[in-house]
Structure 1
Amino acid sequence: SAAASQRDYTGQFAHSSLEPVKTFVARDALHNQIHTQLHSHAAEASTTTLVVWGLGGAGKTQLVLDYVQRHRTEYKATFWIEVASKESLERDFVNLYRMLFGLATAAGTETINIDDAVTGVKSWFSGRQGPWLMVFDGADAIDDSKANDFVDIKHFIPDVASLRVIVTSRSSAAADMTRLEGVQVGEMEGAQAVELFYRYTRLPRDDVEIHDEVKKIVKELGCLALAVTLAGAYVGTTPRLRSNIKAYLPEYRQRRRELLQRKPESLVHQYSESVLTTWETSHRAVAEQCPEASVLMTMLSFLSFDDIFPGLFIVNEQMEMVNEEEDANWRSLISPGQPLDTYKIEECFRVLQKYSLVQWKADQQSYAMHKLVHAWGCDRLARDERAGYSQATFGLIVEAVEMVESGRTAPEDKLRVVPHVMVSFAALGGRGNKVLEGVIDELEGVGLFLRHIGKWREGREIQEVVLDGRRRILGEEHPSTISAMSNLANTLGEQGQFDEAAKMKREVLEKRRRILGEEHLDTISAMNNLAVTLEDQGQLNEAAKMKKEV
Structure 2
Amino acid sequence: MTTDDTAAGPRIKAAGKRTIGAQRIRDAYTGDLHVLPAEALHAPDKVTAAPGTSNLPPATLCLGRDEELSQLRRILTGGGEGAITQSGAVHGLGGIGKSTLAQRYAHRHRSYYTLIWWINAASPDEIETSLTELTTALVPDWATSAERGAQVSWARQWLAWHQGWLLIYDNVEDPADLAPYTGALHQGHHLATSRRTTGWPDSAATLCLGNLSTDDATTLLCQLVFKDTRPTPQQKVNARALVAELGCLPLAVKQASAYLAQNQGVSLDAYRRRLGTKLDRTAHGIDAERTIARVWNVTLQTLEAEHPLAVEVLHTAAWLAPDDIPHTLFTPADADPDDIAEAIGTLAAYSMVTDTGTTVTVHRLVQTVLRTPKPADHPQPPRHLQGRDRAEQAVLHHLTPLPGQDIPDRQWDTLTPHLVTLAATTPPGHHNPRLTAAYATAANRLHYQGHTARTIPLLQATLAQCEQILGDTHPKTLRSRNNLAYAYESAGDLERAIPLYEATLAQYEQVLGDTHPDTLTSRNNLAGAYESAGDLERAIPLYEATLAQREQVLGDTHPDTLTSRNNLAGAYESAGDLERAIPLYEATLAQYEQIQGDTHPDTLTSRNNLAYAYQSAGDLERAIPLYEAALAQREQVLGDTHPDTLSSRNNLAAAYQSAGDLERAIPLYEATLAQYEQIQGDTHPDTLTSRNNLAYAYQSAGDLERAIPLYEATLAQREQVLGDTHPDTLSSRNNLAAAYYTVGDLGRAIPLLQATLAQREQIQGDTHPDTLTSRNNLTLARRAAAAVQQPDTATPATAPDHPPSDTPEQPV
TM-score (norm 1): 0.43
TM-score (norm 2): 0.30
Q: Which has the higher contact order (CA 8 A, sep 6+)?
A: 2
